[in-house]
């Protein structure tokens, strides 16, 4: 779990004059979401470097262009469709 200051750095709001009040206004659920996002970013970075397993429960899109993304989506859709015949 991140400290308030670490969360402010993660959200890039540390230079806001009222960042402490903004952090304290987060609901526990929102705070947990930000903590999970930060953890997932670290896990994805380690996986991309070959230093850890691929995180479970997330989709990782490495397509650099819309056409590459469209092709990957189409392959996923085709893979999940029931086979005819």
Residue 28 in any domain: the answer is yes
Number of helices (H), then strands (E), belonging to the chain: the values are 4, 0
58 lies in some domain: yes
Q: pLDDT: is 58 or 83 the higher one?
A: 58
Q: Does a structural domain hold residue 75?
A: yes
Under a CB-based contact definition with an 8 Å cutoff, are residues 47 and 55 in contact? yes
Q: What is the pLDDT of residue 60?
A: 76
Structure tokens at 3: 């400290």
Evaluate whether residue 85 is within a structural domain.
Answer: no
In this prediction, residue 70 carries a pLDDT of 81
pTM over the 0.85 mark = no
Label residues 30-48 b or e (16+ Cβ within 10 Å = b).
ebeeeeeebeeeebeeeee
Domain assignment present for 51: yes
Provide the number of structural domains found in the chain: 1
- Domain containing 59 equals 4-80
* pLDDT tens, position by position, 12-61: 999 999 999 999 999 999 999 999 999 999 999 998 898 999 888 887 77
The phi-psi region of residue 57 (left if phi > 0; otherwise alpha if psi is between -120 and 50; otherwise beta) is left
Question: Does residue 27 fall inside a structural domain?
Answer: yes
Is 63 inside any structural domain?
yes
Q: What is the DSSP letter of 51?
A: S
């Amino acid at each position: 779990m991140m400290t308030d200051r670490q969360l402010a750095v993660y959200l890039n709001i540390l230079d806001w004059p009222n960042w402490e009040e903004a952090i304290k206004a987060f609901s526990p659920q929102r705070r947990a979401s930000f903590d999970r996002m930060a953890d997932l970013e670290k896990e994805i970075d380690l996986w991309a470097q070959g230093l850890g397993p691929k995180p479970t429960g997330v989709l990782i899109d490495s397509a650099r262009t819309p056409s590459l993304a469209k092709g990957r989506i189409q392959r996923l859709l085709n893979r999940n469709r029931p086979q005819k015949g």
